[in-house]
Amino acid sequence: MVGIKDVAKRAGVSIGTVSNVVNRPHVVATATRNRVLSVIQELGYVRDESARQLRAGRSRIMALLVLDLGNPFFVDVARGAEEAAHAQGINIITCNSGQRVETEASYLAMLAEQRVRGVLLSPVDTGGDAMQAFRRSGIPYVFVDRKVPADEASSVSVDDVAGGALAARHLLETGHHHIGFVNGPTILTQCRDRDAGVRSVLTGSGARLSGVEAVGLDVASGRDAGARLLGMSPRPTAVFCANDLLALGVLQAMVGAGVRVPDEMAIVGYDDIEFAGAAAVPLTSVRQPAFRLGRTAAEQLLAETEENPPPHRQEVFTPELVVRESTRVRR
Amino acid sequence: MVGIKDVAKRAGVSIGTVSNVVNRPHVVATATRNRVLSVIQELGYVRDESARQLRAGRSRIMALLVLDLGNPFFVDVARGAEEAAHAQGINIITCNSGQRVETEASYLAMLAEQRVRGVLLSPVDTGGDAMQAFRRSGIPYVFVDRKVPADEASSVSVDDVAGGALAARHLLETGHHHIGFVNGPTILTQCRDRDAGVRSVLTGSGARLSGVEAVGLDVASGRDAGARLLGMSPRPTAVFCANDLLALGVLQAMVGAGVRVPDEMAIVGYDDIEFAGAAAVPLTSVRQPAFRLGRTAAEQLLAETEENPPPHRQEVFTPELVVRESTRVRR
DNA sequence: CGGCCTCCTTGAAACGTTTCACCACCGTGT
DNA sequence: ACACGGTGGTGAAACGTTTCAAGGAGGCCG
């Protein structure tokens, strides 16, 4: 592998000069610069970032550690983060934990060892050993889609309690008295918060709530939950799902069983992913500003990795209900 | 930031011993090892991967550079790759070029400077400068979802010509004589191949082909293309889309315009992403084994980064037609 | 009691950069 | 002729690891 030394020797200059050509071209004379540049071309020299970083003490890479890339919501978050980072010439690498605690831990360890510039975090497990160790590493991080106490770190999130409430209220207003709630794993704050929102609205409303906890937050888990819903008697007349993927799964189960949506079963999803509007029955969903979430978080993180970091901030966006066929009231 | 020296001093041993505790625990006496380990704990020491890598000359990270994470097909590819890599204790980082040539170039440069262990590549632009430079870097790479000459590198792909042919034949067999083809940007080999497949079947069949080139491979481009399709006269009675996202967009355009699917317009997509089956009208689609694609490619890449790399291989999977509502013949 | 083996530990070199103090040279003003 | 400033280039230190030859401390055998 060709290094700066080879270039120096071949161009008949010192190592320092080659380094200058690469990093501060203006300080070296035009003739020398061109000679060195052409040798670099000729030899195909690529500088070694690990050496550079070892010297500099800091990396030029930011990372995004994401709960589940299979969820288009997070893909949009990633896009937003990428946009913000690229605008400042920083590359973002994405790590997908797939909601597995061990995978997450392994990525956290890797990122710490890598001395990454900063990390955008949407962790499964905020309290675990891996996360504790990561905190101590001193690498700046910002939580995405999860709120944390202000003294720990910045966060950019969406008010999930409000989102859950929004969905529940909508179902009440469209005349339902028995509502199913397909929630995801309650280890996730998002799920607990949405649950809290639902309960805050339903408690004392006279409506009945039937909860189902899905094993995952994907379509397959949704189909599964749908089947369980179908087995209930009395069966709820409407269901709120913690996630559009779950909602799509539930919808598939309903269609498969010949249960008409929304007439026999209204469905509300969460996230308003692009596919929600294109579903067999277009889904009513609680929209989150995913792209902005990612962008805002990345901007904050970038700011916090600068010389004089600004104080931590907790940004909370407000979700919005998008009504479609799946809860339309027919008269 | 605490380094190996701090640990050594505090534990009263040499830095070599600390290194041994971390990397070859068995060679150090139990008492010493425990003492060092507890100091590591206490100080929160995390080893610096850039120094480690500088010394070792190679990284322990693999990368996946992907065309578009917004396409669930690639998310599945990523999952497959992650599975294979994690099975060998290697972490995979994902880089999303979003089909932008400059973004791709910038990631390629970054990965080369990073001296990554190996890269899984689904590039927009195989011939560009960035790619040329990357080849020279000597980092092992394997193409995913794209075939290349055997002497350059390994590749794992799906026969796109066959896939295109499969779709076209299906539409002929279901009685269509005027077929639309919504293709993606022809800079992508995949799109050119699918086109070739379609033409090979339609040429001489007596059927008419109306081509539309979408600007992207996403839902919005599909809606756009759908609108163009609707403006044609005579209007095709069926359309094959190079991609399920395009197909979903076209479907939305049809639904929006009150054109019945499949009666007035049959639709075939490509990839068979999870959402295809859950669409307003479940989509017929050409299925690709995305997960296996990713897993196989990662396995090959891992093998090629070993001591005695196996020869390059070209693995080509065969696509499969999945028939659903969107092309169902009613009688 | 000397020699030898085994088990642990050490110190220093090396990895490929960046940075910085220092030097050589040249032209200019006095 | 001399001092001086500016320009362009050099050499060496430093970054935090890993690795490896070498050495010290015991224990065992003859």
DSSP state of B275: G
Distance A31 CA to D7 C1' (A): 14
Neighbouring-strand partners of residue A92 = A62
pLDDT in tens, chain A (331 residues): 899 999 999 999 999 999 999 999 999 999 999 999 999 999 999 999 999 999 999 899 999 999 999 999 999 999 999 999 999 999 999 999 999 999 999 999 999 999 999 999 999 988 899 999 999 999 999 999 999 988 999 999 999 999 999 999 999 999 999 999 999 999 999 999 999 999 999 999 999 999 999 999 999 999 999 999 999 999 999 999 999 999 999 999 999 999 999 999 999 999 999 999 999 999 999 999 999 999 999 999 999 999 889 999 999 999 999 999 999 986 6
For residue B1, pLDDT beyond 80: yes
Q: In this structure, is the CB of residue A301 within 7 Å of any atom belonging to strand D? A: no
Query: Scanning the structure block, which residue is given the tokens 């080369």?
Result: B112
Q: What are phi and psi of B85, to 5 degrees?
A: -70, -45
Q: In A, which residues are within 8 Å of B57 by CB distance?
A: 1
Cross-sheet strand order for the sheet of A154-158: A314-317, A154-158, A141-144, A118-121, A61-66, A91-96, B91-96, B61-66, B118-121, B141-144, B154-158, B314-317
For residue B150, pLDDT beyond 90: no
Residue type, B105: A
Whole-number Å distance between alpha carbons of B144 and B154 = 9
Q: In this structure, is the CB of residue B232 within 7 Å of any atom belonging to strand D? A: no
Contact call for A50 and B46, based on CB within 8 A = no
> Which positions on chain D have an atom < 7 Å from some protein CB?
7-21
Residue type, A160: D
Q: What is the pLDDT of residue B285?
A: 98
**Shortest CB distance from B138 goes to which of A1, A95, A96?**
A1
Whole-number Å distance between alpha carbons of B295 and B204 = 39
Q: In B, which residues are within 8 Å of A114 by CB distance?
A: 49-50, 61
Contact call for A94 and B91, based on CB within 8 A = no
Contact call for B51 and A46, based on CB within 8 A = no
Residues 95-124 of B with CB under 8 A from A: 95-96, 98, 103, 106-107, 109-110, 112-115
Q: In this structure, is the CB of residue B54 within 7 Å of any atom belonging to strand C? A: yes
Q: How far is CA A218 from CA A42, A100, A247, B291, in A?
A: 51, 14, 9, 16
Tell me which of B117 and B1 has the higher pLDDT: B117
Query: Scanning the structure block, which residue is given the tokens 């269509």?
Result: B176
Q: What is the pLDDT of residue A258?
A: 95
Cβ-contact A253, A313 below 8 angstroms: no
Q: In A, which residues are within 8 Å of B46 by CB distance?
A: 109, 112-113, 133, 137
Residue type, A231: G
Whole-number Å distance between alpha carbons of B325 and B278 = 11
Whole-number Å distance between alpha carbons of B230 and B41 = 67
Closest-CA distance of chain A to residue B281, Å? 6
Q: Is B201 exposed, middle or buried (0-12, 13-18, 19+ CB in 10 A)?
A: buried
- Nearest protein residue to the C1' atom of D14, measured from CA: A55
Q: Which two tokens stand for residue A79?
A: 């896009």
Q: In B, which residues are within 8 Å of A110 by CB distance?
A: 49, 61, 91
Please enumerate in sequence order all residues whose Cβ is within 8 A of that of B41, keeping only pairs 6 or more positions apart, or say none. none
The pLDDT of B274-288, averaged and rounded, is: 95
Whole-number Å distance between alpha carbons of A45 and A76 = 36
SS3 B105: helix
Q: What is the pLDDT of residue B197?
A: 98
Q: Does A69 touch chain B (CB under 8 A)?
A: yes
Q: In B, which residues are within 8 Å of A63 by CB distance?
A: 93
Q: What is the pLDDT of residue B331?
A: 60
Closest CA to B107 of B147, B146, B69: B69
Q: What is the pLDDT of residues B11-31, one digit of tens each?
A: 999 999 999 999 999 999 999
Q: What is the pLDDT of residue A33?
A: 97
In the 30-89 stretch of chain B, whose C-beta falls under 7 Å of nucleic acid strand D?
Answer: 45, 47-48, 51-52, 54-56
Q: What are phi and psi of B32, to 5 degrees?
A: -60, -50
Q: Which two tokens stand for residue B150?
A: 């055997």
The gap between the terminal CA atoms of chain A, to the nearest Å, is 74
Residue type, A308: N
* Average pLDDT over chain B, rounded to an integer: 96
Residues 279-308 of B with CB under 8 A from A: 279-282
Closest-CA distance of chain A to residue B205, Å? 34
Q: In A, which residues are within 8 Å of B133 by CB distance?
A: 44, 46
Closest CA to A117 of A59, A162, A38, A67: A59
> Which positions on chain C have an atom < 7 Å from some protein CB?
7-12, 14-21
3-state DSSP of chain A: CCCHHHHHHHHCCCHHHHHHHHHCHHHCCHHHHHHHHHHHHHHCCCCCHHHHHHHHCCCCEEEEEECCCCCHHHHHHHHHHHHHHHHCCCEEEEEECCCCHHHHHHHHHHHHHCCCCEEEECCCCCCCHHHHHHHHCCCCEEEECCCCCCCCCEEEEECHHHHHHHHHHHHHHCCCCEEEEEECCCCCHHHHHHHHHHHHHHCCCCCEEEEEECCCCCHHHHHHHHHHHHCCCCCCCEEEECCHHHHHHHHHHHHHHCCCCCCCCEEEEEECCHHHHHECCCCEEEECCHHHHHHHHHHHHHHHCCCCCCCCCEEEECCEEECCHHHCCCC
Q: In this structure, is the CB of residue B25 within 7 Å of any atom belonging to strand D? A: no
The pLDDT of B307-321, averaged and rounded, is: 95
Helix (H) or strand (E) holding B134: helix B129-136
Q: What is the pLDDT of residue A150?
A: 87
Please state at what angle helix B72-87 crosses helix B290-304, rounded to 10 degrees.
40
Distance B211 CA to C17 C1' (A): 54
The pLDDT of B106-126, averaged and rounded, is: 96
DSSP state of B169: H
Whole-number Å distance between alpha carbons of A69 and A81 = 14
**Shortest CB distance from B136 goes to which of A44, A72, A248?**
A44
Q: In this structure, is the CB of residue B178 within 7 Å of any atom belonging to strand D? A: no
Q: Does A179 touch chain B (CB under 8 A)?
A: no
Size of interface A-B (CB pairs under 8 A): 142
Whole-number Å distance between alpha carbons of A101 and B256 = 43
Q: What is the pLDDT of residues B56-114, one digit of tens each?
A: 998 999 999 999 999 999 999 999 999 999 999 999 999 999 999 999 999 999 999 99
Closest-CA distance of chain B to residue A207, Å? 30
Q: Which residue of B has its CA nearest to A90?
A: B106
